Every structure is written in C-alpha cells, then in structure tokens.
Amino acid sequence: MKEPRKRKSAADRRAEIVQTAIRLSARIGPDRVTTQHLADEVGVTQPAIFRHFATKGDIWLAVGDHIVAEMNGLQKNGTGNAEADPHGELQRVVGHHFVHICEQPAIPAILYSRELQAESDALREKFSDLLDKRRLALAGIIRVGQARGVHRSDLVAEDAAQLIAEAVQGLSMRWLLDGCTYDLADAGPRVLAPLFDAFRA
C-alpha cells in the first residue's frame, strides 16, 4: 500500500519555494520566473504559493534574505588570515566567492537583476548593503596589506576593492552567458591574478 505523502510544515514549504525560485533563476533567469513556474516545480497549486507568500515580491525578499545570509556566512568563513598573509587572504576570499557562485549559479543573476530591484526598493537596499559590506571587507584586507608593506601604499583601498568586486561580477555574468560551460572557480582567480599582482608593493 502506498504511503500517504507527508505534508510539509509552513516553514519547510516556504524554504522549498525560496530554493525553487533560486534554482529556476539559474535555469531561465530570475526575471522570467513566475508563480506558476514555482507552483509547477514545487508540485502545488498557484493559490498554495500565495498562502505562504502574500505577493511575488515577498518571495523575492525571502530569496534576498537567503542570499544575504549565505554570503555573510561566506564572508565570515573565508576570512581570518589577513594579519599573517593579507595578499593570500585577498585571493582566498575572492576564490571562495567564485566557488560559491559555481555552487549557486543563480546568485549573480539575482543580485544584479535590474528588473527585480526596480520593482522593490527593499530588495535593492538589501543587495546594495550586502555588496557594500563585501567591498568594505575587501578594502579592509587591502589596508592591512598596506600597513604591512605588502600592498602598494598609493592604492586607494576602497577603489581597489571596488575594482575587484566589479571584476568578479563581470566574470560571473559572462560565465552565465556562456552557459556555465567551464570551471569558474578555476578560471576566475586565474584571470584576476595579474590584477592582484598589480596591488603588490
């Protein structure tokens, strides 16, 4: 006799919807994801989606919260050796981001979607704050390198950090456009190596 399907808790269903939105974003792009797509993938009706999220915008805010929590955790776990080896730490932090993008290819598409953010000031502010924190963390590592004589003293740390962040964004988006057909975790650090070397004192 077939076992009856176990009903998921509201929290589990919400988490499933968020993960499905992220997965679909990688496949078809965040701007094309509809609540019907989500319902079909989750295996529920469209009204059931709206029992967990009042609006489609609320779904994307929950997706944003999930991405922010993951990336904040990544930032904490990827740092810690700046004092001993600031140049190596800079490369390691950026390398961790490339690995994370390989594991979650929808991240750059969602983070930099103009359409999603145009429809939600709250989402735009959430992602802007996240990217500002990432840039400031990179600038902090560069400043440690400057203090230790490892990085050039004439660098403006915030500008150098912004350059790294924009390079990561550009490489990630190009990887998506190329269909994720190569290993970004290998290619990203290799392409950025000359940039990092240019920071050395």
Q: How many CB atoms lie within 10 A of CB 106?
A: 23
3-state SS track over 3-37: CCCCCCCHHHHHHHHHHHHHHHHHHHCHHHCCHHH
pLDDT tens string for the chain (201 positions)? 444 456 788 899 999 999 999 999 988 999 999 999 999 999 999 999 999 999 999 999 999 999 999 888 776 655 556 778 999 999 999 999 999 999 999 999 999 888 988 888 999 999 999 999 999 999 999 999 999 999 999 999 999 999 999 999 999 999 988 989 999 999 999 999 999 999 999
Question: 119: which 2 tokens?
Answer: 């429809």
Classify domain 56-199 by CATH number: 1.10.357.10
What does the pLDDT read at residue 81? 67
- Please choose, from the candidates 171, 156, 38, the residue with its C-alpha nearest in 3D space to the C-alpha of residue 95: 171
What does the pLDDT read at residue 4? 46
CA 102 centroid distance within chain: 10
What does the pLDDT read at residue 80? 57
Residue 200 forms beta bridges with which residues?
A: 151
| 167-186: pLDDT as tens digits | 999 999 999 889 899 999 99
Residue 29 region by backbone torsions, left for phi larger than 0, else alpha for psi between -120 and 50, else beta = left
Contact 64, 127 (CB under 8 A): yes
CB contact burial 128-140 (16+ within 10 A = b; e otherwise): eebbeebbebbbb
Q: How far, in Å, CA of 89 to CA of 23, rounded?
A: 30
| 126-159: pLDDT as tens digits | 999 999 999 999 999 999 999 999 999 999 999 9
**What phi and psi values does residue 81 have, to the nearest 5 degrees?**
-120, 20
Q: Where are the domains of the chain?
A: 56-199
